[in-house]
Chain A
């Protein structure tokens, strides 16, 4: 069956989210059915989301009842490599923070070098070469050829 995939708390999370969205939406005029206001559809959407959460809880309870608790959904939320995930996400966040003050070219080179970096290899020359090449090529294609307004940062003359 299909609803076995739902985890115990998921339904409650959706109900909570729906309620929060309703509260936020009620700051705007709900209007009437004759003249619906800006809060009309958002409130209905919040209610819909809560209803889905409630349905998940009910469906899970029914499914558990029918199959004596042998739920297929109890395979835990697993992340393959926390280190790699945090490292990559950290690099991406740093790129966003630095791209305007430092500039596209240098930040892109640093991001690429960080992403190409292979801790299992002693020689990082290949990664260094590809990082420089990628940063330069993307600069030439997007800034020079396609005239995208990429941030110049520390190098306003580029």
Chain B
């Protein structure tokens, strides 16, 4: 009953006009970036991060969350109609979605993708409500020692955030950790590594850093493919509804995709990309006609699209209950909450119920909005797909500049963004991923503060990290995660996944 009351309270928050508008804006932008290849939810969230400073934390988080799950919906459109995934989680949808479109069945493919996403997203939210409450109860027992170990566990997730070399991911995490230490020391207030620059006394800003690493570098990379043209297959709204037979074939894949997506979404670095691949592989194995997969099987669209939406709901569980971001998008949300003075973790639900329940309720509302946006308005999204990148990229760059400048009206932030844009471009060319750097950058100050507090409290004894059970368990999991990344079997599995994605 309590959960129901809390949920009703959440709806009262989510349905306030300003929050409703934020939700609509978020899912609209999310669908847009999902549809448009060349900019993903991370880029869009980093560009729009400064806008959230002018609104309440609830409205800001509702909007950013909307961009995330909205992109999961929108990503399938390009996969099905153009054979180009709008974002990484829709890669696998190309396999059968585009084949269906070539056979004149683009409508049912888009329809089942939207309905499956809606069902999975809504079911995933029930799990999010139940599991976050349970985990937050355990996390209330945490002190600086446990928090430090938890941050180490969070950092060890980079091994699963990186798709290529684990060592490169860890090196990037080290760099991110160091960048987070620039500015005033958390305990003594002494300025560190500011080199006499006023702009660095408060540290490197999250927004210019993220905008540079994801926004600017993404544009610079995409400029190399500027001349490419996209052929968009035609579809009509009245063709969008799947037939009874389509529903019969898709019901179980949607259910299984939801379960797989939900549980993989909680796991570190699992997220929507891996869950969509796993659910596709599972459906192929369960199917009586596996030979139809890759040739336009509707199950091959229903399962991964359901999985990536369920994963986008469950990805919030570690963030809201433990304060650990399971992926880079959650790291951005963590950063946004911290900028607003809200610390995600076990006390979030009790100290800021409006943020937790408001966001959860807004996701139900957002899922309904997405269904409306993605089905009747499909023809508009198809038109958007025809906008050439040459027209789009100047606008993306301009939004990055305005976003970075408007935070503190300081040109220094623009230089920071420019430098990280150039650095991000070079690093990505060398197969370094920005996600571990951002994760470590966000967790860095918390890690340092808790480590130093834990050492002061324990009188310099390092054994405290191993004698306290919760801390020991967190460290053990962290070590296992790191070890698993170098074991030959896991390396081989990761290699296979990467090859499949390529």
Contacts and interface: CB of A to CB of B under 8 A. Distances in A.
Contacts of A5: 164-165, 168, 431
A21 to B, nearest CB: 6
A12 interface: no
Contact of A96 (B168, B174, B414, B452): B414
B455 A34 contact: yes
Interface stretch (B338-346, B357-365, B377-385, B389-397): B389-397
A125 interface: no
A41 B452 contact: yes
Interface string B390-409: 11011101100110011001
Contacts of A96: 401, 411, 414-415, 418
Interface string A135-151: 00010001000101111
Contacts of A74: none
A81 B224 contact: yes
B178 A49 contact: yes
A90 B414 CA distance: 14
Contacts of A18: 174
Contacts of A88: 219-220, 223
A146 B54 contact: yes
B4 interface: no
Interface of B: 51, 54, 164-168, 170-171, 174-175, 177-178, 181, 185, 187-188, 190, 192-193, 216, 219-220, 223-226, 390-391, 393-395, 397-398, 401-402, 405-406, 409, 411, 414-415, 418, 421-422, 429-431, 447-448, 451-452, 455-456, 459-462, 491, 494-495
Contacts of B414: 95-96, 99
A39 to B, nearest CB: 8
Given A2-B491, A118-B390, A138-B398, A99 B405 contact: yes
A99 B418 CA distance: 14
Interface string A109-135: 001100110100000000000100010
B100 to A, nearest CB: 33
Given A1-B491, A36-B456, A49 B192 contact: no
Given A18-B174, A115-B397, A134-B398, 12 more contacts: A2-B494, A3-B167, A5-B165, A34-B459, A41-B177, A80-B223, A84-B223, A92-B397, A95-B414, A99-B405, A138-B398, A148-B402
A106 B390 CA distance: 21
Contacts of B193: 24, 42
Interface residues of A, number: 62
25 contacts: A21-B178, A34-B460, A35-B460, A36-B452, A42-B193, A45-B178, A49-B171, A49-B174, A49-B178, A53-B171, A77-B429, A79-B429, A85-B220, A88-B219, A100-B411, A108-B398, A111-B394, A112-B398, A115-B394, A130-B391, A134-B395, A138-B398, A142-B402, A146-B54, A150-B402
B418 A149 contact: no
Task: Give the 10 A-B CB pairs with smallest separation, nearest first.
Answer: A80-B224, A33-B460, A115-B394, A34-B460, A38-B185, A49-B174, A52-B171, A148-B406, A149-B409, A41-B448
A158 B383 CA distance: 36
By CB atoms of chain B within 10 A, which of A5, A38, A53, A130 has the most? A38
Contacts of B402: 138, 142, 148, 150
Contacts of A92: 216, 397, 418, 421
Interface of A: 1-3, 5-7, 10, 14, 17-18, 21, 24, 28, 32-38, 40-42, 45-46, 48-49, 52-53, 55-56, 59, 77-81, 84-85, 88-89, 92-93, 95-96, 99-100, 108, 111-112, 115-116, 118, 130, 134, 138, 142, 146, 148-151
Interface of B is mostly: helix
Contact of B167 (A52, A134, A148, A151): A52
Contacts of A148: 402, 405-406, 409
A48 B177 CA distance: 10
Nearest to B51: A146
Nearest to B447: A41
Given A1-B495, A84-B223, A149-B406, A41 B411 contact: no
A31 to B, nearest CB: 8
Contact of A2 (B165, B188, B451, B459): B165
Contacts of B394: 111-112, 115-116, 134
Nearest to A58: B167
